[in-house]
Each structure stands twice: as C-alpha cells, then as structure tokens.
Structure 1
Amino acid sequence: MTNCDSQNTNGSNLSEFLRIGLIQTTLDNNVAWTKAPRMELSEEIRAWNEIQRGLASINSSPFKPDIVILPELALPRPHIRDFKRICAELGVIGITGVDYLVDSDKSTVSNQALVVVPQNWPKGTGKYCTPFYVGKTYPAPFEEKTISNFGLRFKPDPTLWLFDSDSFGHIGVCICYDFMDIERSAIYCGKIHHLFVLAYNRDSTSFYHLAESLSRTIFCNVVLCNTGHYGGSLVISPYYDPYRRTIYRHEGSGLFTIQVVQLPVFDLHEAQSSSAPRRGLFKNRPPGYGDKIRLVSTTRII
C-alpha cells in the first residue's frame, strides 16, 4: 500500500493548473428507472446522445480539459466501451457515473463510477485506456427505498480510492451520498488536492454548503458535478478572497450544460505544505491539517 500523502509530493513537478471539463446531463430518474434498476431504452438513447454532444463540444474547445467529469448514473452500461474509446481518442481522463449494476447473485444492486485513463495521458491520444470502478458506499434513503421496491438490496462498496495524477496532484472521487461521510473526509484530509463528487441530488443547496465547508476543512479543490435534471454543479477552491472561491456554479433545472474550468494545483500544494502560506492567496490551513491519519484496512490507494 502506497502512501498518497499530498505533503510528500514534489511540488516542483506540479502543474500550475488542472483543467476540468464538466458535462451536466439531464437524465430523468422518473423515466429512467420505472420497472427495474436499469435505464429504460428511451432514456438510454437520450442520455448517450447528450454525452456524445458533450464530448464533441469538449473536443472542439480551444481549452481542452485534462479530465472530463459527468454526474452519477449518467452513462448507460451498453455504451461503456464507446465511452472508453472516445476518451482514449481525445486523450482525456473520463470520470462518469454508470447506470446501476444488478450483481451476479441477482439480489443486490451496485452503484459505480467509471474512471478511464488513456494510455498516453496527459501527453497525447491513443487507442487504449485503463478503467477503474469506484463504488458507492452509502445509498441515499430514497435510492435505497426504490431499489427495495424492485425486490433488491443495495450492495455497498467500502473501498476508498485516491488517485495520483502525477503533475496534477492527488484526487479523491466519491459518489453523491458518500460526500456526507465524515470518516471519509477525515481520511481525505492532507491526502488530496482535488475532490470530485458525482451526484444525482435534488437538494443542491445542501451540497453547495457542504462543498464550501469541505474545501476549507479538507483544504482542497471541490468539484461537484450534479445532474442537470435538478441543476446545481459547483467548483470551489479555498482561496482567501471570497470572490475567487467559487470558480464555477450552475443552477437551474432541466439544463444540459458543458463548461471547462481551471483548478489551482501548484499554488494550492504550496499552501497545503506550509503552515505559513503566501499571504492573501489561500485561507489558512484548518487545525490539525497534515497530521498523519491511519488508513482503514479497506482503503486502496493508487
């Protein structure tokens, strides 16, 4: 097991910024999952069309992102191979929620995010990529009830992933309700530069407040990619000046949106690594920041 402590990263190798592409799709849960925890064909077709439009727009952008993020449950499973291929051809890491998976025992359901890393990333495009699956640990109450109504149980995944993206810093990825897990936040503290949250959440206001709080207590960039069906995507960084902290915020229901933003990496790392950061750029580190935290036995770090 490798320690991915951000304090141990060689700051001189870090890039100034990490460029993120957000694709906020508008999957309608009232239509998608009516008979089983598998996307209805009509929503599957519409969802994949939106994703293709978003990726095409990202590809034509003069500010090509390093990583593309989509919401929870956004990608229909029949198009996983297509998503991998496109990400490899674009030369971008793709992080997206995937439709529910009914497990082999036919009694449980998993909620996963797919992380696709092209073979030549970040230096260029290619034909192949390496996939990872990040599982959801805690179902939202409504989600658990809906799955139960189908005669199935939610299958939790207790594994926590921290990704080392080399010059772009360390990244934590979680799915929706796991964002509220206090123990997870404690493990992330001092370990990551960026926290990516894939969500399908109707209460975007609560997540806004939580994102701002965790950007200060974990002391990292927080990217919240929520479904456009409810709206509420947010990118926030612990800058000192209030007007700089919210890098991006999008509100409004039923809106398909694409946006490319930049997250600070090098300067944030310097602030994380010093008890006396450059005055006026970032907020002060939270109490106890950087103290060693014992990782739970189920933690897997890449």
Structure 2
Amino acid sequence: CRKDQSPNLSYQRQKGLYHILNAANKEEADVLLLPELSIPVSWLPFMAAHSRRKQIALIFGLEHWVLDERAYNILVEMLPYNTDENYKSSMLVFRVKNYYAPKEIELLHTLRLRAGAPKPKKQRYHLIRWKNVSFATYNCFELANIEHRALFKSKLDILFACVWNRDVNYYQHITESAARDLHCYVAQSNTSHYGGSCVLQPSRSSISNKIYVKGGENHCILTTTLDIKALREAQYRSFRDNNDIIKHNPPGFDYDALLERA
C-alpha cells in the first residue's frame, strides 16, 4: 500500500497461489480459507473467475486498498452457485475490517496512511447461509472483541477467521473459547510464517483440534470434513451418549436459532 512501491505481483507469488488453488480443486474442497491481507487487489477478478468456474467458495483478505490516504482492510467472501438456467456464477461479498490491530494502525501511520475502519454505528458483520450451512467470518483483531464474537451465538455452524498475526497463542485461546462458547466449528487461516492455522470443534480438549498447523515455508493446504448434520443433531438433543464427541450445549443456547439453521 506504499506509494513508492508496487504490489508484489511476481511470477513466484502467482505460482504459489496457483499451487494452492489447484490443490484445493484436487481435494474437491467446498471452501478455501486464506489469511488476512493475502491477495493483491488487482487479482480480485481472477479469484472471482476461479470461484465461478470451479464452484469453490473462497474466503480471504485483500491487501490494503488505499483511497484518499486511507487504507481499507477488506474481507472477501466468494460464494459460487448455479442459476436457474444452470449457468455457473459466484456472489461476491465485501466487508471492511471493524477493528484494526494497534500494530497495524502504527504501521499505516509510518506510511502516512490512516486506517479505513468504519465508525462504531456503521460496523457490520455478515451472517451467511450458503448450501444449507450458516457461517460468519471475522477478520483478525475483530476476534478480540468478546461482544462481537457473541453476536451470532447459537446461529452458526462454522466461524471462519482470516488472520495475519504472530501471536498464535493469543489467537489459539480465542478460537478455542469461540468453539465452546458459540458451540460451532471454528476455522482459522494464518500465514504459514507464523502458523496457528486450525480447525476446531466443540468437543473435549483431547480431540478438539481437527487441524492445527505449526507453520512452515512451503505453500500447501490441509483439508478436513465438517459434519454439520452431526453437530446439529447433538445440539438438538438435551443429553449426550457415549458415542457423542460434541460437548453439551452451553448455557443460554437458543434452540429456536438452531431450528432456523436446520
């Protein structure tokens, strides 16, 4: 986002992205979750076309989009679907980050830029229902707001989080808390430089991590299958049997909200 430098659009970076996208296609993934600030703004049309052609949902953060000396940190959701005429299409959803991390604001100030965060009354989150799955996405430091994390209590099957942060232990505690408090799956993608990418489920601690990545240098994806039906079935029952891995519903769980998801 610097005026004196161009974005990194090198062949090497493109090659890394192609590798990830092709790997997701090979694994027949329904959703590919990428970190915050991971995709250059100029690659947005390519990502949209890929989502439409391959019918894969893409969730990622754009690199800072600078307008009038303000740097906007934007979260993107690309949700593919087939039209009534059986044409492939994809809906694009954009949202500006509600809370910029202190270090992010400090970095932008050193580059003579201001953070483009919305005013409190205009802060928004999206509750999305796609292919019979209810989910919401959070952008890094937004997860640190406990009230905003609780906005969709009982309403989510999955919480997706795009982050770019070196304090992986801090975010691990937050995501573990979210999985239990919101009683849903939590999927987080962080840059491989730091690690901490994970998929959690609201179960006992020994098996709550379906995926947890320490970090590395190469580009790769890890996949797992989320049993949405089993999650809802467990949530609907007021008891658990020995075969259940899902923990009991938290206090105040809204069964009416569950029925709206089912």
1:114 matched to 2:76: yes
Matches of 2:8 and 2:69, distance apart in 1: 25
Deviates more, 1:268-277 or 1:172-181: 268-277
Q: For residues 204 and 163 of structure 1, do their structure 2 counterparts lie closer, same or farther at Cα, with a shift above 3 Å needed? A: same
- Tell me if structure 1 keeps the 8 A contact 2:235–2:248: no
Matches of 2:87 and 2:241, distance apart in 1: 40
Correspondence for 1:238: 202
1:251 matched to 2:214: yes
Q: For residues 44 and 160 of structure 1, do their structure 2 counterparts lie closer, same or farther at Cα, with a shift above 3 Å needed? A: farther
- Tell me if structure 2 keeps the 8 A contact 1:67–1:93: yes
Correspondence for 1:282: 246
Matches of 1:255 and 1:212, distance apart in 2: 26
- Tell me if structure 2 keeps the 8 A contact 1:134–1:173: no
Correspondence for 1:68: 32
- CA positional deviation for 1:267: 1.1
Correspondence for 1:218: 182
1:153 matched to 2:114: yes
Matches of 2:10 and 2:141, distance apart in 1: 23
1:163 matched to 2:123: no
Correspondence for 1:184: 148
- CA positional deviation for 1:185: 1.7
- Tell me if structure 1 keeps the 8 A contact 2:55–2:88: no
AA matched with 2:251: P
* Identical columns (%): 24
1:144 matched to 2:105: yes
- Tell me if structure 2 keeps the 8 A contact 1:271–1:277: yes
- Tell me if structure 1 keeps the 8 A contact 2:235–2:249: yes
Correspondence for 1:56: 22
AA matched with 1:52: Y
AA matched with 2:77: V
Specify which of 112, 136, 152 is matched with residue 172 of structure 1. Answer: 136
Q: For residues 281 and 51 of structure 1, do their structure 2 counterparts lie closer, same or farther at Cα, with a shift above 3 Å needed? A: same
- Tell me if structure 2 keeps the 8 A contact 1:47–1:76: no
Correspondence for 2:260: none
Matches of 2:255 and 2:70, distance apart in 1: 38
- Tell me if structure 1 keeps the 8 A contact 2:19–2:219: no
TM-score computed with the length of structure 2 as normaliser: 0.87
What secondary structure sits across from 1:219 in the alignment?
coil
Matches of 2:13 and 2:95, distance apart in 1: 21
5 Å matches for 1:95-110? 95-103=59-67, 106-110=68-72
Matches of 2:193 and 2:5, distance apart in 1: 15
AA matched with 2:125: L
What secondary structure sits across from 2:202 in the alignment?
coil
- CA positional deviation for 1:173: 0.3
Paired residues, what number?
A: 250
Matches of 2:5 and 2:253, distance apart in 1: 42
AA matched with 2:16: E
- CA positional deviation for 1:48: 3.1
What secondary structure sits across from 2:182 in the alignment?
helix
Matches of 1:198 and 1:291, distance apart in 2: 28
1:91 matched to 2:55: yes
AA matched with 1:261: T
- CA positional deviation for 1:273: 2.9
AA matched with 1:119: Y
Correspondence for 1:203: 167
- CA positional deviation for 1:74: 0.6
- Tell me if structure 2 keeps the 8 A contact 1:93–1:118: yes
Q: For residues 291 and 262 of structure 1, do their structure 2 counterparts lie closer, same or farther at Cα, with a shift above 3 Å needed? A: closer
What secondary structure sits across from 2:43 in the alignment?
helix
